[in-house]
Amino acid sequence: MKSDCFEHVVTLELEPKFGVDVENFMCKDLAEEVHRLAKLGVRLEGVDSGGVVVVDGSRSSLVDEVIVKQDLDPSLVLKASVSSGKVEVFSQGGDGALRYQGRLCVPCVDGVRERILDEAHNSFYSIHPGSTKMYRDSRDVYWWGGMKKDIAKFVSGCHSCQQVKAEHQRPGGLTQDIEIPTWKWEEINMDFVVGLPKARRGFDSVWVVVDRMTKSAHFLPVKTTYGAE
């Protein structure tokens, strides 16, 4: 799951030396650290003060949209109460975003929640997680009422998951033996063959009676109009 909680400033005091290889003024450890951050999906940005800002490149593009559209959801009109200190579980950061216990509150407008679920489940970095894993990953960043229920419903409607993933259920146990009859015609099986063309005498079905012990069968012509009596 993409997060938006990775941003800090690192000051690099580098003195340019003309005619000298880069490795002479950038230590090997620093180069390895920059390479490691690049693998994690972060990017380096310069600032006016001469430092370098390390920003998480995996920040979801939906985070900014969620912050902008929080004011459009009537159920999230809590910013005035949060600012006055009347609501403690909600907080408002420096970016003006409303958060519940540190998690970004997602408004129910313009299908933002559905796009977050789609990104968390169908994107290349998520690889179709189950409802439990998807909820645990999403709740670290986002929050809305009934979030767990919405995630379970979304995953249950994924055709790829229904076709590929096996159900985790207990095995049925050992095979139960079928009792063998002790005498012929003591236990029988019956079935009907219907939908046949009508014979001259009006019969259009066959009543099949099979003895379980001897496997002998009787085929009786019947009509579909016959009742149980």
pLDDT one-digit tens code per residue, 21-31: 444 444 556 65
Give pLDDT < 50 ranges for the chain: 1-26
Question: Which structural domains are found in the chain, ordered by start?
Answer: 7-56 (no CATH), 62-163 (1.10.340.70), 188-222 (no CATH)
pTM over 0.85: no
79 token code pair:
């910013």
Burial class (CB in 10 A: 0-12, 13-18, 19+), 92: middle
C-alpha 30, offset from chain centre: 38
* Amino acid 223: pLDDT: 92
Q: Residues 227, 195: contact at Cβ < 8 Å?
A: no
* Amino acid 168: pLDDT: 65
